């Protein structure tokens, strides 16, 4: 039963991250998820210092506020400071993460918090973090409920704003011409990314969240030019990654998050080599066939 809960959590998180990751990859902002997962540390510390309570909801609120603040800072530096997006991301998350580390070192005596525990949560612990009612009834792992709710929010957001997100992603100038606010939908998307990242990293770990946010969408990008198919392929790849990664970890007796990330990387490598249109080896074989055909014609 533990395997079921771990795989289910991995699938829910991978689908949520992957769907939003498709937009990030196409907008060339794939590392925003990594930035948010590190930058939220001071938000967690502030929440614990203000409330004195160490529970997931308090941490989620504090981390969520800083996560949204991070996206605003990235866009502010990009637009007002004329920095490239990748430079804005790098500057923002490094100093916020450093601030969080300093706060923990300063107030280590007042709060019981390990930054490695916060940032690198282990998906293997999902089955033992249970939601227990006051009556004593066990409802199952909390991570499953949190991940399920986040997935519903993400899917609803994409369905409602599909046209606007599509227009602002592929042709922002056209979106402005037809009356769509690119800034509004940018911040809504970044807010969704922040929510998904913050809600997921405590359960599965920041490294796995970033891997699921980038690798499946990047792999799907190499396999299709149709955006709807890209979303579908990303979903399937996320599920395959979660299932295969778990059993790889069991076989190797190693880290589940590490195994899932490895599978995601291997799937990308296969697409990079053998994609029908973009694959390196596929292109090489196609060129050899064309050269052979031309030589025979002469």
For the chain, give every domain's residue range.
2-125+161-297
| CATH domain 2-125+161-297 topology | ABC transporter involved in vitamin B12 uptake, BtuC (1.10.3470)
Exposed / middle / buried, residue 144 (Cβ in 10 Å: 0-12, 13-18, 19+): buried
What confidence tier does 294 reach under pLDDT thresholds 50, 70, 90? Answer: very low
Nearest Cα neighbor of 155 from 180, 192, 183, 123 is: 192
Exposed / middle / buried, residue 282 (Cβ in 10 Å: 0-12, 13-18, 19+): middle
Can you say whether the dihedral through the CA atoms of 210, 211, 214, 216 is positive or negative? Answer: negative
Look over the chain and give the mean of its residue pLDDT values, rounded to a whole number.
Answer: 81
What confidence tier does 108 reach under pLDDT thresholds 50, 70, 90? Answer: low
Residue % of the chain over a pLDDT of 70: 87
**pLDDT greater at residue 141 or residue 233:** 233
pLDDT at 190 over 50: yes
pLDDT at 158 over 60: yes
For residue 207, the SS3 value is helix
pLDDT at 32 over 60: yes
Q: How does strand 130-132 pair with strand 138-141?
A: antiparallel
Lowest mean pLDDT among 20-24, 49-53, 207-211, 280-284: 49-53
pTM: 0.84
pLDDT at 253 over 80: yes
Looking from the CA of 122 toward its CB, the CA atoms found within 13 Å total 10
CA dihedral 124, 29, 171, 18 (to 10 degrees): -10
């Amino acid at each position: 039963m533990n395997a079921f809960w771990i795989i289910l959590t991995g699938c829910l998180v991978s689908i949520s991250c992957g769907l939003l990751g498709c937009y990030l990859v196409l907008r060339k902002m794939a590392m925003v998820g990594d930035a948010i997962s590190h930058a939220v540390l001071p938000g967690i510390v502030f929440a614990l210092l203000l409330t004195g309570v160490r529970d997931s909801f308090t941490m989620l609120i504090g981390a969520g506020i800083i996560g949204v603040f991070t996206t605003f800072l990235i866009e502010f530096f990009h637009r007002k400071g004329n920095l490239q997006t990748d430079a804005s991301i790098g500057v923002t998350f490094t100093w916020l993460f450093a601030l969080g580390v300093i706060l923990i070192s300063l107030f280590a005596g007042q709060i019981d918090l390990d930054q490695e525990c916060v940032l690198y949560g282990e998906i293997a612990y999902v089955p033992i973090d249970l939601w227990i009612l006051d009556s004593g009834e066990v409802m199952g792992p909390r991570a499953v409920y949190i991940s399920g709710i986040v997935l519903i929010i993400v899917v609803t957001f994409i369905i409602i704003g599909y046209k606007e997100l599509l227009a602002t992603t592929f042709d922002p100038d056209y979106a402005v011409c037809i009356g769509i606010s690119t800034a509004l939908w940018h911040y809504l998307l970044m807010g969704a990314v922040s929510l998904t990242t913050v809600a997921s990293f405590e359960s599965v770990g920041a490294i796995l969240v970033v891997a699921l946010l980038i690798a499946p969408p990047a792999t799907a990008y190499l396999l299709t030019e149709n955006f709807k198919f890209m979303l579908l392929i990303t979903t399937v790849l996320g599920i395959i990654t979660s299932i295969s990664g778990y059993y790889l970890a069991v076989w190797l007796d190693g880290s589940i998050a590490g195994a899932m990330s490895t599978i995601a990387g291997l799937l990308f490598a296969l697409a990079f080599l053998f994609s029908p249109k973009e694959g390196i080896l596929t292109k090489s074989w196609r060129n050899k066939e064309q050269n052979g055909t031309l030589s025979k014609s002469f």
